Amino acid sequence: MKEKIIQFGEGGFLRGFVDWFINIANEKADFGGKVVVVQPIEKGMCDMLTAQNCVYTHICRGSEGVDIQKIDVISRCVKPYDDFDAYMALAENPDFRFIVSNTTEAGITFDERDSFSDKPASSFPGKLTQLLFKRFELGLNGFVFLPCELIDKNGANLKKCVLKYADLWQLGDAFKNWIENENIFCNTLVDRINTGYPKGEELNLGYEDNMVNTSEYFHLWVIEGYNGLFDEIPFDKCGLNIILTDNLEMYRTRKVRILNGAHTSLVPYALLSGFDTVKSCVDDEKMHEHIRKCVFDEIIPTLDLPREELIDYAENVLTRFANPYIKHMLASIALNSVSKFKVRVLPSITEYIKRFNKMPETLIFSFAKLIDFYRTDMTNDDAEVVAFMKTASAHDILKNTSLWGEDLSYLESEISKYVNK
């Protein structure tokens, strides 16, 4: 198999997401591609991966069952901090077509302290620009970028950083034109919970594997890409939940409103009621009914994708919440709940009122429980937000435009029905 993909990152997410996909594409659709992993930071797990010939076990598990696969798509690892020349030599291989990455949300950043002569540049986009300039000088084709970082418009932002380095390092207009015209930076949306190495568990695989990776069954990769993408990498022939679209925003909104919105509309109420994990709520009849009312009765009617598609996604979300292998603590989701509520739940409330000219009762109840929650000592948020929310009246909270971006006084009469006096 030819090396076709350069992958920045060797962590559990990419190994349980992109590499898992490529493994299936090789088996089911004759993609015939190998991945070269670049360790984007100085200290990482590439030595451990190399020690077992870059082969590892991935286990999908949930209420659906357990599926064990041996993943052998990685051909080798390259460590730019140890061997910069080996890293730059990747530019010479004309078979490389795709570049994938997951360098955390902070990875796609521009650092003006980076120098072109650094071996390597400290930032991920800086390292990438070094590689791309060599590729350009060799007169070879550009790449298709499929970044997996959890930021909005990840592809567009990566491209912006590369062009800023081209200016900073005075690499010339011809190089910038090559970036613009010979490379494709796709925005993507990724969704899969990877739970990494199962510490403290007896797996009984029958062999030693220090790089075992685990995840839920559910996976979703939405790619805002070009029409011929699946001709080059045949994900559509593999039965995978990978969507090629010209409008990513609909899917991002779906995820934020349904998956994240379900979390945020549940957590304050659940913590006030003595629950500790998402699964414990799904297993409880009263809490389960609360989630379903929020999602199916009040959030889904405000979204514009086909209803069947939204219902299928929402049912998948509840299955994921019930996964017995994932202990998702409510306290960790509760971090910065006010700003999360503003982004994840408030748009559903305002859109519901606009469309149906009535209040979404369950989401309004959730808003009241958010106010009650901030009057306890369980919150974890900005100190000023906590101090204000703890003592302010519901009226003052709702009219505070710095919290919500608008005056929400018109919700007061409904919310006051549920706020503890």
**What angle do the packed helices 285-292 and 307-321 form, to 10 degrees?**
150
Nearest to 133 by CA among 93, 83, 164, 88: 88
Per-residue pLDDT band for 244 (boundaries 50, 70, 90) equals: very high
Long-range contacts of 393-396 (CB under 8 A, 24+ apart): 394/368, 394/419
Instruction: Show Cβ contacts of residue 393 under 8 Å, excluding neighbours closer than 6 positions.
Output: none
Per-residue pLDDT band for 105 (boundaries 50, 70, 90) equals: low
Residue 104 has pLDDT above 90, yes or no: no
Running DSSP on this structure, what letter comes out for residue 259?
Answer: I
Q: What is the pLDDT of residues 310-328, one digit of tens each?
A: 999 999 999 999 999 998 9
Residue 107 has pLDDT above 90, yes or no: no
Residue 421 has pLDDT above 80, yes or no: no
Q: Do the two domains 2-245 and 249-415 of this chain adopt the same fold?
A: no
Q: Which of 24-33, 199-208, 276-285, 337-346 has the lowest mean pLDDT?
A: 199-208
**Average pLDDT score over residue span 58-83:** 96
Supply the pTM of this predicted model. 0.90
**Average pLDDT score over residue span 31-48:** 96
Residue 72 has pLDDT above 70, yes or no: yes
Domain ranges of the chain: 2-245, 249-415
From the centroid of its chain, how far is CA 31? 25
Instruction: Show Cβ contacts of residue 238 under 8 Å, excluding neighbours closer than 6 positions.
Output: 21, 24, 25, 28, 29
Q: Which residue has the tokens 């919970």?
A: 193
Amino acid at 45: M
Backbone CA torsion sign across 246, 250, 255, 256? positive
pLDDT of residue 253: 96
Per-residue pLDDT band for 202 (boundaries 50, 70, 90) equals: confident
**Average pLDDT score over residue span 299-304:** 97
Q: What is the pLDDT of residues 357-392, one digit of tens each?
A: 999 999 999 999 999 999 999 999 999 999 999 999
Residue 77 burial (10 A CB sphere; 0-12, 13-18, 19+): buried
To 5 degrees, how large is the angle CA 266–CA 267–CA 273?
Answer: 95
What is the spatial distance between Cα 346 and Cα 234, in angstroms, rounded to a whole number?
A: 39
Q: Show the tokens assigned to 378.
A: 């369980």
- DSSP code per residue over 98-143: EEEE---TTSS---TT--TTSSS-SSHHHHHHHHHHHHHHTT----
Q: Which CATH architecture has domain 2-245?
A: 3-Layer(aba) Sandwich (3.40)
CATH homologous superfamily, domain 249-415:
N-(1-d-carboxylethyl)-l-norvaline Dehydrogenase; domain 2 (1.10.1040.10)
**Average pLDDT score over residue span 283-299:** 98
Q: Show the tokens assigned to 295.
A: 């999602």
Nearest to 344 by CA among 416, 266, 418: 266
**Average pLDDT score over residue span 268-285:** 97
Residue 200 has pLDDT above 90, yes or no: no
Per-residue pLDDT band for 25 (boundaries 50, 70, 90) equals: very high
Residue 11 near residue 40, CB atoms below 8 Å: no
Q: Which residue has the tokens 């994990």?
A: 277
In this structure, are strands 56-62 and 65-71 parallel, antiparallel, or unpaired? antiparallel
What is the spatial distance between Cα 10 and Cα 7, in angstroms, rounded to a whole number?
A: 8
Per-residue pLDDT band for 131 (boundaries 50, 70, 90) equals: very high
